[in-house]
């Protein structure tokens, strides 16, 4: 009896048409924001920092939160 298997995807292959969003590492966000990694860890603990994505043990940040912080003047309301 022959068993047919679905074709295997190559390692790291992404389904066609699926949008791939680049995520920032904690070190990249620390550099961009001039904050320490430990401060970002505390922000995650207290829920006061930028929103993040957790993939297993890995923490990543979506770059979209940067565009949410764009202002035209200092008198514009922030978050």
What pLDDT tens digit does each residue of the chain (79 aa) get? Answer: 555 555 555 555 556 665 667 899 999 999 988 999 999 999 999 999 888 999 899 999 988 877 777 777 878 776 5
CA atoms of 20 and 2, how far apart (whole Å): 37
Q: Where are the domains of the chain?
A: 26-68
Per DSSP, the residues of 9-39 read PPTT---TT------B-HHHHHHHHT--HHH
pTM higher than 0.95 = no
Tokens 């829920």 sit at which residue?
A: 47
């Amino acid at each position: 009896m022959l068993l047919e298997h679905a074709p295997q995807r190559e390692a790291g292959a992404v389904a066609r048409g699926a949008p791939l969003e680049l995520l920032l590492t904690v070190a990249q966000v620390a550099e961009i924001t001039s904050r320490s990694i430990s401060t970002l860890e505390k922000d995650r603990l207290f829920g006061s920092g930028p929103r993040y994505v957790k993939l297993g043990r890995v923490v990543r940040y979506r770059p979209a939160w940067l565009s949410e912080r764009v202002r035209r003047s200092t008198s514009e309301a922030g978050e």
